[in-house]
Structure 1
């Protein structure tokens, strides 16, 4: 792989800059790296590197805390934080196209493979394997960490954490209805049929009727049983597909497999929650309510919400009693686990300093901040031990929530990271999936053609 962007790829990134002109105009300029800016540094032996990332105010604060700690421990390296909460991808690529990429950055799981192919990211394999802490064989939860970070056996980033979807539920609603809630123990996961029946019993119209009752009024629902996000490439839909025994992507060819029967059936199962089973609001109905799934869960308009583990960061604050559970099984049991990565850019003039910062972000100090709030799940084995859990599990975490980390993800989590060219391929899938959610087409009608077109793009993108 060339160490420089090809002319074609450079022009593509430059095109993104033009397309997002407004974003580019306000994109933060990367701080000078050591090699090009040491003369202006406070001291000759101090290196300054830049770090670009997104994040809400809590994440912003956590990064700033980490920088302060890192600079205290490593006084010869200074980190400039380029906080970019909006339009991050466009602004990142604007800096790349302008020749001013940051030294280190957040890299989304959907574009990591594309950036590796385009030689944007620094190969950190040798540094990682030589490190006595993060390079230890049992430091990360494996094999998932290596699965997500490596291409052809080489590391170009380290995962920030793990996140995965699961069930959130209003425990007060379950108690009032006398219904047993879902469990965080994967050995007690509901079957799809149990999940459907529970959602049916929890869905009520204004007259107290359930779906399937002759007088049920779907246009006048007081409480919905469940909400399951339907983004075509979203982790919630990928998890449903995996849970029906489909791989989503072929591990060897890295081409989509959703057009296989198990994949199409899983997608149709989710669509049927709205179209047939009537236990989930359609997108238009959800929008008309003017509430988030968190608000609906809190006020009892929604009994269960399928969302990412990161949502615990704010869902834990609801006034109703919050519970969580693992996702239901379909043909098998699985869940998609992912998160953004921390990478050094290949163009950095300070690769050693950039590595030291990426390494620090993979130590307990940084990860613990966000595990404690519920935003993250740990990727470090030490934090999954009984002793390690004491460092981050609090009374804000639902009962037995640690099983998500100790049982659910290690046994059933699959770390699928999207191949090069994924944003283009997903743009083909999205309208096809929307047609399924709207009831305009079935999964069997919409998916085969969309997958064929998306896979043609992925084949084309393999060569860069």
Structure 2
């Protein structure tokens, strides 16, 4: 999946300090020996057996993902006894440590690559070109193996493959179905053709938002400082916000120029719509209120402090454990139905001294075995078409994890309405301009139109400078 295991995004400040524009790091990577010998728990090097080639694999992930990778390594090594894979599990500060390893001349052979930096890494020759191997492969290179055109959109630059997607993940609605039953409100549907309009979404969120005196937003005497239950929480980082923008007919990036178009009316209105859930409609808690409560959205769904939560599909891996009845649904439509379609890539690094072994491992990570185990626990959605057939769904839809009707999220909502966004070259520098501007919108210091009109030209200047390097 795309976020790291603890849900935090990597530090932009540290990323900028380490990368300084990644060209210098890339030059080091190009001539560095790949994959420094792994160490055991005692710090001693774990040498492979004679005739066995060792490669390293670096990635993040919580306990479930860590266990899944280790299980996959065991299976892979049984199939490929001449290759040893050493897992460099890095659940915290992944991007910082990844870049530091490259700068130190000890890059991994293979790794998780985030969508925010993929194109920059390709530009700076950090990643190995996998095109020839993939096109020659009778399994992963077969026509129709992946959901297209989205797989090619995220994995290729100028028609060349520099990684393979791990899976798909996408924001959707989670809701406490018991609250809907108690309120006598029909819940939203997993079927994207029945997705709520934005106005209905807001109206239902108002009905489900209740203060300590039982009043709702708009009622006389409603107390916004003493809310017992909020109607909804919509996160304000870029993946959920991109979903809203696409649902309003807008875009994050112009596909022709590669520049940000967050200052266009469709985008600013969508951003403002999300901000107004707090600022106008009073159905969503401010970030400070969430912090004061000290609870996650899953905890708030469970204890009844929250009726609906917008979150990535990956969150099903833990949200399904709540005691109340859990429901899921397609995101509401503003002008159209849409969601962000995302996930990290598995890539081999250009500096590897073992390109064939690295390819064999990346290929294995793209097989049904590897993807299915994470789909079964609610962490991933499939990117392989075989897992979306009636027979394929039976291999991973799990009672007690996937709510009734969830297969429509995987087979209809995401492939039909998912929009791929892999950030442009130089995005970390541009993000240092865009995110603070958005923060002004979320707290009401500026409208989305005002904030983006100021920030987008500055960010685009950065992107143009990076593209020209």
State the match for 1:268 in structure 2.
272
State the match for 1:412 in structure 2.
417
Q: Deviations over 1:245-281 (max 9, x none)?
A: 0121111221111110010000000000000000001
Between the aligned partners of 1:149 and 1:262, the Cα distance in structure 2 is 27
- 5+ long unaligned stretches in structure 2: 1-18, 29-33, 39-46
- 5+ long unaligned stretches in structure 1: 1-5, 16-27, 33-39
Q: Does 1:463 align with 2:468?
A: yes
Q: Does 1:79 align with 2:85?
A: yes
Between the aligned partners of 1:11 and 1:262, the Cα distance in structure 2 is 38
State the match for 2:446 in structure 1.
441
Q: Deviations over 1:325-349 (max 9, x none)?
A: 0000002221111000000000000
Q: Does 1:286 align with 2:290?
A: yes
Closer, same or farther in 2 for the Cα pair 1:29/1:154, shift >3 Å? closer
SS of the residue aligned with 2:55?
strand
Which of residues 313, 332, 335 in structure 1 aligns to 2:336?
Answer: 332
Alignment of 1:101-112 (within 5 A): 101-112=107-118
SS of the residue aligned with 1:388?
helix
Closer, same or farther in 2 for the Cα pair 1:143/1:286, shift >3 Å? same
Between the aligned partners of 2:408 and 2:376, the Cα distance in structure 1 is 15
Q: Does 1:254 align with 2:258?
A: yes
The Cα of 1:76 is off from its aligned counterpart by 1.1
Alignment coverage as a number of residue pairs: 437
Between the aligned partners of 2:353 and 2:25, the Cα distance in structure 1 is 24
State the match for 2:426 in structure 1.
421
State the match for 2:364 in structure 1.
360
Q: Deviations over 1:293-345 (max 9, x none)?
A: 10000011000000000000000000010000000000222111100000000
Which of residues 307, 311, 323 in structure 1 aligns to 2:315?
Answer: 311
Closer, same or farther in 2 for the Cα pair 1:183/1:30, shift >3 Å? farther
Between the aligned partners of 2:276 and 2:116, the Cα distance in structure 1 is 27
State the match for 2:435 in structure 1.
430
The Cα of 1:13 is off from its aligned counterpart by 7.6
Which of residues 92, 97, 103 in structure 2 aligns to 1:91?
Answer: 97
The Cα of 1:31 is off from its aligned counterpart by 3.0
SS of the residue aligned with 2:186?
coil
Between the aligned partners of 2:35 and 2:384, the Cα distance in structure 1 is 33
Q: Does 1:131 align with 2:115?
A: no
SS of the residue aligned with 1:132?
coil
Between the aligned partners of 1:29 and 1:10, the Cα distance in structure 2 is 20
The Cα of 1:29 is off from its aligned counterpart by 6.8
Between the aligned partners of 1:126 and 1:239, the Cα distance in structure 2 is 34
Which of residues 30, 49, 64 in structure 2 aligns to 1:42?
Answer: 49
Closer, same or farther in 2 for the Cα pair 1:152/1:64, shift >3 Å? same
SS of the residue aligned with 1:249?
coil
Closer, same or farther in 2 for the Cα pair 1:8/1:411, shift >3 Å? closer
State the match for 2:146 in structure 1.
140
Closer, same or farther in 2 for the Cα pair 1:277/1:13, shift >3 Å? farther
Answer yes or no: is the 8 Å Cα contact 1:165–1:335 preserved in 2.
yes
Between the aligned partners of 2:82 and 2:183, the Cα distance in structure 1 is 61
State the match for 1:451 in structure 2.
456
Answer yes or no: is the 8 Å Cα contact 1:13–1:93 preserved in 2.
no
Which of residues 341, 351, 354 in structure 2 aligns to 1:347?
Answer: 351
Between the aligned partners of 2:324 and 2:378, the Cα distance in structure 1 is 17
Q: Deviations over 1:343-380 (max 9, x none)?
A: 00000001000000000000011111110000000000
Answer yes or no: is the 8 Å Cα contact 1:30–1:103 preserved in 2.
no
The Cα of 1:444 is off from its aligned counterpart by 1.2
State the match for 1:23 in structure 2.
none
RMSD of aligned Cα (Å): 1.7
TM-score (norm 2): 0.91
State the match for 2:217 in structure 1.
211
